[in-house]
A and B are shown apart, each in its own frame.
Chain A
Amino acid sequence: MNQSSDWNAPVRRTGAAREPARRGAEPSSLADILERVLDKGIVIAGDIQINLLDIELLTIKIRLLVASVDRAKEMGIDWWEHDPTLSSGARDVLEENERLRRRVGELEDGSGARREEDRGAEREDER
């Protein structure tokens, strides 16, 4: 095809424009692949049972959220550090990120529920 390759360039600040994946080429979008391999494709109950739905809801979602800032940096996506509307909030994002990360750790340790109760109690106390 000799069409100009940027006719459908998406609105991205990343510069990481994507070619439509050709069969055989390494497809580029992790999000596209994850939504298909984790959520689509025929489901057969194999011998080893993993409920991806559980994991997706409880963990992967959080992980993607938490990991995306670091990952984005790895991939050279750091627009929020230059964007005046966002950079003031970048510190908050990082703190939030750290807090979520701890929270994931707590949930994995099974201590999350108790902490949440504590926090609820604290909130009551504040009133």
Chain B
Amino acid sequence: MTDTLATWLYAVTAAPEDGTPPQGLTGVADEPVRLVEGAGLAAVVGSVPLADFDEDALRGHLEDLEWLERTARAHHRVINGAARHGQVIPLRFATLYHDDDRVRAMLRERREDFTDTLRRVAGRTEWGVKAYVDPRSFLPDPDESEDEGSPGTAYLMRRRAQRQDQETAHLRATERAEEIHSSLAALAVATAAHPPQDSALAAYEGWMVLNNSYLVPDDLTEDFTALVRALGERYPAVTLEVSGPWPPYSFTAPPKPAGDAQPEEKPS
């Protein structure tokens, strides 16, 4: 008995001239990765057992962090691997079609979108930059002059001062992060903000005051990393961390309705 299969999509690329799929890549179900071509484009796909990837099964699996981690990494690994052969448009996790014909139809239907997007990200790379601060570095100087009143009052005053100091520290750290962002954004054609990561999951302490992606022209890569380093030196109280190069995950979404957060695109 053969398993019923579904087609899991990883990425869309321009159809390769020689038609060869990325070699040696295996996907979310350990399946070999292949290409489905249509309309001058190619979808990077794999065949996965429907029993494990239909709606119900997926719902169940997504509750399982081990599964999620393994599968998210596999999804990313394929996109990253495909990106070595040419510009890719990463697809959202868990994009599934019943068969290859449906994928070809989708490529034809969205050909213009994909072609525009590929053109837009060509020769550009996504870099992630995070900034961490130790809140203590941003606290106002201790003001020890107002030690007066009863012990109870002094205690309450101190508590209130601590809370205010904390707010001040957060404001200062955020302003610093804004400065860093503006400097970095000057070298990028587009930027996208991610929410600060869960400190337990990402295993950091202090505050993550910046978690952004920058779409940087490839000929500015060195300038960009040098700038991050320079900013790190200029602001010793801030620890900067670069991640990447990433396939352009954060810069391929179609324009959303007004009011929604979306990547800021600068006219180039």
Contacts and interface: CB of A to CB of B under 8 A. Distances in A.
Nearest to A48: B96
Nearest to B50: A48
Given A42-B91, A48-B55, A49-B55, A69 B96 contact: no
B240 interface: yes
Given A36-B246, A44-B92, A31 B134 contact: no
A8 B90 contact: no
Q: Which of A31, A60, A72 has the most CB of B within 10 A?
A: A31
A94 interface: no
B59 A47 contact: no
The range of chain A's interface size is: 35 or more
A11 B90 contact: no
A7 B71 CA distance: 32
Interface string A48-82: 11101001000110011101110110010100000
A125 interface: no
B96 A37 contact: no
B200 A21 contact: no
A37 B72 contact: yes
Q: Which 6 A-B pairs have the closest CB atoms?
A: A68-B200, A48-B96, A40-B249, A36-B249, A41-B90, A31-B202
Given A7-B229, A37-B76, A41-B91, A46 B202 contact: no
A36 B194 CA distance: 9
14 contacts: A8-B232, A10-B204, A18-B243, A27-B73, A32-B128, A35-B197, A36-B250, A38-B93, A40-B92, A40-B249, A42-B252, A52-B93, A59-B63, A64-B65
Contacts of B90: 36-37, 40-42
B203 A27 contact: no
A49 B98 CA distance: 11
Given A8-B241, A48-B54, 4 more contacts: A10-B239, A37-B90, A42-B253, A52-B93
Nearest to B134: A11
A83 B96 CA distance: 46
A72 to B, nearest CB: 6
A18 B59 contact: no
B234 interface: no
Interface string B108-134: 001000000100000000001010111
- Looking at B65, B83, B117, B194, which has the most chain A CB atoms within 10 Å of its CB? B65
Contacts of A36: 76, 90, 246, 249-250
Contacts of B241: 8-10, 18
B267 interface: no
A26 B95 contact: no
A22 B228 CA distance: 17
A22 B84 CA distance: 11
Given A10-B130, A33-B76, A44-B106, A65 B93 contact: no
A101 to B, nearest CB: 12
Nearest to A32: B243
B91 A77 contact: no
Contacts of B98: 47-48
